[in-house]
Structure 1
Amino acid sequence: MGVLRAGALAVLAGALVLGAGGCSGPDDGWTEVEVGHLTAQYPSDWTEEPPTGDVFTKRFVGQDMEIQISGRFSEDPSASAAFGRLDLPATVGLRGYSSGGTQNATVEGADTALRSDYTFEDEGTTKRGVWVVAGQYPYPATAVVSISGATLDPQVVQHVVDTLTFTKTAG
């Protein structure tokens, strides 16, 4: 019985290791990138292109979508305060911009995080977008990810949002 139990435990341990192998990373079609405070994943078959505007420092494009990242977005004390730095300029700068409001989000390592879904027009095409803003306190700093496109693959969006991590820094 002891040998059988040890064998069963070995099989269970092997299954757990294989299950852990199911975590996202370069081996399953996702590439991880660290940008300032944020570590994010994007589909490995996407290409890196120069970011648009002066807010973002990294941009990845594929499947008629794009992901842009600002790993050091602002020194606001919370994600909601930093969101205003996105929402207000979008209201006046993006044609047809409509915010879907905000909801609390969970970003590993962040003290505060929120998600905002929105729409806007680009060259006559309605596009969708998602912002995820994460921040730390008591040393205020925020980071943001933007996912946008004419259509958004919900599985890609969910994977990016679910695998974001925020690395805190002191001072």
Structure 2
Amino acid sequence: MEERIEIRLSGSGGQGLILAGIILAEAAILDGKNAVQSQSYGPEARGGASRAEVVISSSEIDYPKVTRPQILLALTNEAFNRFKDNMAEDGIIILDSSIKKEDTSNKIIQLPIIETARKDIGKSMVANIVAVGVITELTKVVSRQAAEKAILSRVPKGTEDLNLKAFYAGCSLAEKLA
């Protein structure tokens, strides 16, 4: 792992990206790394722009903000257009398949994250956890075991099985790319 990995999760309010960021940060800590998570969302709690950011490092984190992320998740067109040009040179952009791909110098991986949540899991509200599975499998920034533990400790009681199913579905989406 690089010394410092910056992740930006972006979309609209209500998509659970803040929870996804918290889960990734907690998983990193469970893996013995340092992590810091921050969030930003518009005045509308649901529907407005939303982003969560996570910095993961094997050493001390001297600056807690994401400046040039190596990983960008975009679940809406607005999020993609807003953040696509502010990436690390070697960064990857993970896009939901509903988003129109535009030119960028970064590698783009497009997957049906929202559709998988809606059709395969039966609840579009778990797209955030599908995305955590995709990021975990694709980047190995956190281990599967740590991500599973973080999910179980953070999701609402009674939804653990649903969320683990969503996580595994995301891992499977990413595995198909290998």
The answer, yes or no, to whether TM exceeds 0.5 is no
Structure with the higher helix share, 1 or 2: 2
TM-score by length of 2: 0.29
Structure with the higher strand share, 1 or 2: 1
Kindly name which structure, 1 or 2, has the bigger radius of gyration based on alpha carbons.
1
TM-score by length of 1: 0.30
